[in-house]
Amino acid sequence: MNRSSALLAAGPIPVLPGVSRARDDFPILSRKIHGKPLVYLDNAATTQKPRAVIAAVRRYYFVSNANVHRGVHALSDRATRAYEEARSRVARFLNAREDREIVFVRGATEAINLVAQTYGLLRLREGDEVLVTEMEHHANIVPWQMVCDRAGARLKVAPVLDSGELDLGAYERMLAGRTRLAAVTHVSNALGTVNPVREMIGMAHARGIPVLVDGAQAAPHIPVDVQALGCDFYVFSGHKLYGPTGIGVLYGKAEHLEAMPPYQGGGDMILRVTFEKTTYNAIPWKFEAGTPNIAGAVGLRAAIDYLDEIGLPAVSAHESDLLACATEEVGRIPGVRIVGTAKEKAGILSFVVDGVHPHDIGTILDHEGVAIRAGHHCAMPLMDRLGLPATARASFGLYNTPAEVDLLAAGIRKAREVFL
């Protein structure tokens, strides 16, 4: 990679201004694992939480806790405002046109299931087709299989090239026929490939096909503008964005959300209930049956504030530098092969080592304090396509440093010594 060679030639890569300060914001990063300082490189699975997020959740329970949209009392009003302000914050983060286009859900998985079970069922008829890609996470495959089964529709899969990039020509050709819906990941969780989603959405829209974008691995790393992308739906999880678990976001164009039937029934999603007829609430509340994860929304808002304060473009640049550095350092270890060499990648490095299984690499790295993921990354069809049972994956966050990349590389060398 040209960029990394240039970086290495220039000496040690600069750390994101404020990274050393940022590290102090994450209490867990100062703990030790097996007696070694924690090197957390499993950010694609979940990120660690800054004090600001932990404090916001705690503060909410200390001084604001009540149910939302219900009480006449002061605390309920306060909780409702905190929850709805979080929604506005998310709308601004994604540059949605309106706050009501933001639905709070448990995470990206629930968001995709929601769209599949409501919009999908509404739209799909027998013989119709749904287009996904070979690099999807199971969460962007299985919900579509389920809805295809119910509707008598068929799932089509756009192929991935050996580099881990999408075969864009094939994708465009496959939009023909009876494709009624397309779902694609913005960034591959297994390989780090950044898909040209804007272009892909344009191709789909030219044929009147709506597109859902799975942004679980993109939202924490690259600025997202849903209006510029033009996507019909965009989903992400709070916990991969330095926020709490159990809170996530579905963005949907208002016209779609309006037309969709509710996902679940219960309190909060209704205007009026009689045993004869129930009138549903307006969007987005129509999709938020039951007491929502209020503290989660508050925590997510704090996470977005935190991320914006550092600046997503700076985070993005920092993570690309780390990726370039890791690609170079890990890639030159004998017997190592980097899996996924797309030109556009987010901070994810998947690799395999000759004669050393990814699990064994994971165990040995763990004993060096280095946390990575080993396995199929919930993308078994992609692993089958690449002919690999598993890979080892290091994924970077805003708090990682070049020194941690060195420790990763040293750990991999150690793993080779054990087995070769």
Partner 1 sequence: MTADLRSLYQEIIVDHNRRPRNFREIPDADRTANGDNPLCGDRLTVYVNMEGGLIRDIGFVGNGCAISTASASLMTEALLGKTEQEADALFERFHDLVAGTGRGARGSLGKLEAFSGVREFPVRVKCATLAWHTVRTALNTPGRTASTE
Catalytic residues: 378
Which stretch in 174-182, 215-223, 238-246, 362-370 sits in contact with partner 1 by CB under 8 A?
A: 362-370
DSSP-derived secondary structure letter, 281 = P
Minimum distance, C-beta of residue 386 to partner 1, in the bound complex (Å): 12
Minimum distance, C-beta of residue 73 to partner 1, in the bound complex (Å): 47
Nearest to partner 1 of 381, 402 (CB atom): 381
Question: Listing from the earlier edge strand, what are the strands of the sheet with 233-237?
Answer: 102-105, 248-252, 233-237, 211-214, 179-185, 129-133, 154-158
DSSP-derived secondary structure letter, 326 = H
Which stretch in 114-122, 251-259, 315-323, 357-365 sits in contact with partner 1 by CB under 8 A?
A: 357-365
Minimum distance, C-beta of residue 242 to partner 1, in the bound complex (Å): 26
Question: Listing from the earlier edge strand, what are the strands of the sheet with 348-353?
Answer: 336-339, 348-353, 391-395, 373-375
Which stretch in 122-130, 171-179, 189-197, 361-369 sits in contact with partner 1 by CB under 8 A?
A: 361-369
Amino acid symbol at 9: A
| Interacting residues with partner 1 between 372 and 411 (CB under 8 A) | 374-376, 380, 383, 389-390
Nearest to partner 1 of 190, 295 (CB atom): 190
For 228, the enclosing helix (H) or strand (E) is helix 226-229
d(CA 382, CA 132): 12
Beta strands in 106-244 (DSSP E): 129-133, 154-158, 179-185, 211-214, 233-237
Nearest to partner 1 of 130, 390 (CB atom): 390
Q: Any contact of residue 360 with partner 1 (CB under 8 A)?
A: yes
Nearest to partner 1 of 11, 387 (CB atom): 387
Which stretch in 80-88, 255-263, 298-306, 412-420 sits in contact with partner 1 by CB under 8 A?
A: 412-420
Q: Which of 90, 130, 364, 398 binds partner 1 (CB under 8 A)?
A: 364
Residues in contact with 261: Cβ distance below 8 Å, sequence separation at least 6, in sequence order: 118, 122
Q: Any contact of residue 257 with partner 1 (CB under 8 A)?
A: no
Alpha helices in 278-336 (DSSP H): 294-310, 312-331
Structure tokens belonging to residue 123: 């739209």
Q: Which of 6, 206, 317, 418 binds partner 1 (CB under 8 A)?
A: 418
Minimum distance, C-beta of residue 257 to partner 1, in the bound complex (Å): 35
Q: Any contact of residue 357 with partner 1 (CB under 8 A)?
A: yes
Q: Any contact of residue 85 with partner 1 (CB under 8 A)?
A: no
Which stretch in 48-56, 82-90, 332-340, 351-359 sits in contact with partner 1 by CB under 8 A?
A: 351-359
Q: Any contact of residue 335 with partner 1 (CB under 8 A)?
A: no
CA distances from 13 to 4, 43, 257, 348, 399 (A): 9, 21, 46, 18, 14
Q: Any contact of residue 355 with partner 1 (CB under 8 A)?
A: yes
Of 293, 284, 237, 278, the residue nearest 260 (C-alpha) = 284
Q: Which of 65, 67, 311, 419 binds partner 1 (CB under 8 A)?
A: 419
Q: Any contact of residue 337 with partner 1 (CB under 8 A)?
A: no
Count of residues binding partner 1 (CB under 8 A)? 20
Of 217, 402, 415, the residue nearest 326 (C-alpha) = 402
Minimum distance, C-beta of residue 187 to partner 1, in the bound complex (Å): 22
| Interacting residues with partner 1 between 16 and 45 (CB under 8 A) | 34
Residues in contact with 255: Cβ distance below 8 Å, sequence separation at least 6, in sequence order: none
CA 171 to chain CA centroid, Å, is 22
d(CA 201, CA 187): 15
Binding site for partner 1 (CB under 8 A): 34, 355-360, 363-364, 367, 374-376, 380, 383, 389-390, 414, 418-419
